[in-house]
Amino acid sequence: MFAFVLRLTSGDWQRAEDVVQETLLRAWRNADRLGGPAHPSVRPWLVTVARRIVIDEHRWTRARPQEALGQDLDVLAEGDHADRVLQIMTLTEGLRTLSPAHREILVETYMEGRTVAEAAERLGVPLGTAKSRVFYALAALRTALAEKGVSQ
């Protein structure tokens, strides 16, 4: 993660350290949420939060009160239980309406715990094709959620 942040801060080592530390603090504060079903892979979450911190620092030039930190995590937060059940139903419906190839790639990768490269080999399709299917499958699900107006 440090290498990633260092790139965001254009090589400013000190700032990168600050950002990493702040990111880890937020992760710690949200350990319960991260430990839930929300984030099977914590890495994309950390990277996203780190990037937001860098952007916020730009915007406020470091003059922000401590309390404001962490608010932006709401985007990744869950609503109440009923909301979530509704969203899962919408998502399930979205999965049903995906093309077979798109549904298949999600099952072969995410659902069955394979990397996209492993899935491509099993399915006998080029890696680029497999990745592209993952992309359009996930984009279709995102659209399904947005259309139902149940996405945030």
Partner 1 sequence: MSAGPGQGAVPHHDVASYALGVLGEQEATHFETHLAACDACARELESFLPVVDLLSDVRPTVDLPPRSAQPPGDDLGRRRARRSERRTPRPTAGARGLPATVGRAAGSALRRPAVAAAVAAVVAAGVTAGVTGAFGTVREGGRSAAAAGVTTSTPWDRLRGPDLATGQRLAASDPATGVHADLVLDSAPWGTRVTFAVSHVAGPQTCRLVAVRRDGGTEVLSTWLVPADGYGTSAQPQPLVLQAATALDRRDIARLRVESVAASGVHDLVAVSA
- Cβ–Cβ under 8 Å, residues 1 and 20: yes
Alpha carbon distance 121, 79 (integer Å): 38
Q: State the nearest-atom distance from the C-beta of 4 to partner 1, in Å.
A: 5
Q: State the nearest-atom distance from the C-beta of 145 to partner 1, in Å.
A: 7
Give the residue with the Cβ less far from partner 1, 43 or 60: 43
**Alpha carbon 103 to its chain's center:** 19
Q: State the nearest-atom distance from the C-beta of 60 to partner 1, in Å.
A: 19
**Shortest CA distance to 103 belongs to which of 144, 72, 74, 140?**
140
Task: Find the helix or strand (DSSP H, E) in which 47 lies.
Answer: helix 42-60
Give the residue with the Cβ less far from partner 1, 60 or 152: 152
Give the residue with the Cβ less far from partner 1, 31 or 60: 31
Q: State the nearest-atom distance from the C-beta of 72 to partner 1, in Å.
A: 10
Six token digits for residue 5: 């942040």
Give the residue with the Cβ less far from partner 1, 60 or 151: 151
Q: What is the dihedral of CA 148, 88, 138, 101, to 10 degrees?
A: -110
